Structure 1
Amino acid sequence: MPSCKYGHYRTNRSRSYAPIASSCTCIWNSRRTNQITIEKDTIVNTSTPAGNRKLTLDDIADLRAYERERAEFRSHMIEVKRKRRVALGDIMTIMFENRDTMRLQIQEMIRAEKLVTDEGVLEELKVYNPMIPMPGQLCATLFLELTSEEQVREWLPKLAGLENSISLKLSDGSTVRGAIDAQHAAGLTRPDVTAAVHYLTFEFTPEQVEQFAFGPVSVVCDQPQYLKVAELSSVTKDELLTDLRP
């Protein structure tokens, strides 16, 4: 598995999702450039359909069709992503993903890589569909916003184990801790350094879903070198409830 000197790993796309953003310049440019552009600006129905939410070939526009809708789609997604983005301190951002954010990412990757075959699109679906939450789940991408070589050298070693340090604190004091899948964990082979991008899934019980709706919810980082708490806005909570509920 290829890696850079800071311990970032580009997961084989046939196995799992690959990093789609980082402020570290050693992350692979095709993914980094697309996601950073999308984060800043980037239509389609933004409500999540009931039942199986995963994307299929029928949901993905071909290159010409996407080019016609792209400006409007990306403009619309600015607001969608604003509702789903949470800043945790100065260098960490958490984006809660849904069907539309992943459709956007897939369309942009297809456009960047000029994919025209069903096989190529299916590979993108395989990469990104796991980040679409099913009822009772939240899925999130955690980004470390490191903008200089000095920050990279300082923070990546400091934040080792970060992937196990993010939780959601509910109004009754209980927590739902984010988990990474085995394939992503396998890429984090250095215990002394973290990566700049992590993919997290939060699994809720039905009771926890109702508790989420009932009162304040906070995102908590309890990594010893970066103790941070950010309360979700009511707008973000309402948006995420559309993921948690059927």
Structure 2
Amino acid sequence: MQLTGRITADSLMTLEAYARWRKQHQAEVIAHRRLRTVHLGDHLTVQFESELTLRYQVQEMLRIEKIFEEEGIEQEVEAYAPLVPDGSNWKATMLLEYPDINERKRELARLIGVEDRMFVEVEGHQRVYAIADEDLDRENDEKTSAVHFLRFEFAPSAVQAIKAGAGVKLGCDHRNYPAHVAVPAETLASLAGDLR
């Protein structure tokens, strides 16, 4: 899988080429995704995206749906390409995970607005709150969605601090889900590579 800095239809593998590549590299991609996943409490997971995770996602969708026509490929690229970090930010998929359906319904109602209360705090810098769901609104007056897309946009000084090894916390200050956690060093090393 060739990383080019930008996902385009022309930069994707054919279904046949991807099938061969997948056999050899799927475990590496899964390990990469696991490295970039941070759990915040028992019910909130943030998966920080990269070109590799998103390129893999597009290729998987094309494989599963057996999409090989140009229009279908373009639709998948349009859906996922905007989630690739572009040098001054981290982009992530946020999952609210409640296995019990009744608990999920109750908690999603209690957590309206949670996506806007997600933050990254770089040591020595102010909190950076997520810009959430830029593609479409994922909540209503009754509940929030179990899946949100987040962008954390950093000032140049915060980028430099992260690249220099400053500690970073991921957190949420929603009144019904207050939590924060230090981002592990190996995760932070991977995320620092997204910044220029």
**Would you say same fold, with TM above 0.5?**
yes
Contact 1:161 1:191 in 2 (8 A): no
Aligned length: 195
Q: TM-score, normalised by structure 2?
A: 0.93
User: Any residues of structure 2 matched to 1:151-162 within 5 Å, and which?
Assistant: 151-162=103-114
Once the two structures are overlaid, the 10-residue window that deviates more, 144-153 or 109-118, is 144-153
Aligned counterparts of 1:234 and 1:72: Cα–Cα separation in 2:
28
Measured after TM superposition, the shift of residue 181 of structure 1 is 4.3
Aligned counterparts of 2:136 and 2:155: Cα–Cα separation in 1:
24
Aligned counterparts of 1:129 and 1:210: Cα–Cα separation in 2:
25
Partner of 1:70: 22
Partner of 1:176: 128
2:150 maps to 1:200: yes
Contact 1:81 1:95 in 2 (8 A): yes
Measured after TM superposition, the shift of residue 170 of structure 1 is 1.1
SS of corresponding position for 1:243: coil
The structure with more strand, counted as a fraction of residues: 2
Letter aligned with residue 229 of structure 1: H
Measured after TM superposition, the shift of residue 172 of structure 1 is 0.8
2:117 maps to 1:165: yes
Measured after TM superposition, the shift of residue 220 of structure 1 is 0.8
Letter aligned with residue 100 of structure 2: S
Partner of 1:146: 98
Letter aligned with residue 217 of structure 1: V
Contact 2:133 2:148 in 1 (8 A): no
Partner of 1:218: 169
Partner of 1:106: 58
Letter aligned with residue 86 of structure 1: V
Aligned counterparts of 1:191 and 1:212: Cα–Cα separation in 2:
37
Measured after TM superposition, the shift of residue 149 of structure 1 is 0.9
1:79 to 27, 31, 45: 31
2:13 maps to 1:61: yes
2:65 maps to 1:116: no
Instruction: List gaps (5 residues or longer) in structure 2.
Output: none
Instruction: List gaps (5 residues or longer) in structure 1.
Output: 1-43
SS of corresponding position for 1:230: strand
Contact 2:97 2:104 in 1 (8 A): no
Identity %: 31
CA RMSD in angstroms comes to 1.5
Once the two structures are overlaid, the 10-residue window that deviates more, 169-178 or 193-202, is 169-178
Measured after TM superposition, the shift of residue 85 of structure 1 is 0.4
Q: TM-score, normalised by structure 1?
A: 0.75
Aligned counterparts of 1:69 and 1:199: Cα–Cα separation in 2:
28
SS of corresponding position for 2:131: coil
Partner of 1:232: 183
Letter aligned with residue 93 of structure 1: T
- Structure 1 183/81 Cα, relative in aligned 2: closer, same or farther at 3 Å? closer
Letter aligned with residue 166 of structure 2: G
Contact 1:55 1:125 in 2 (8 A): yes
- Structure 1 182/99 Cα, relative in aligned 2: closer, same or farther at 3 Å? closer
Measured after TM superposition, the shift of residue 224 of structure 1 is 0.5
Measured after TM superposition, the shift of residue 58 of structure 1 is 2.8
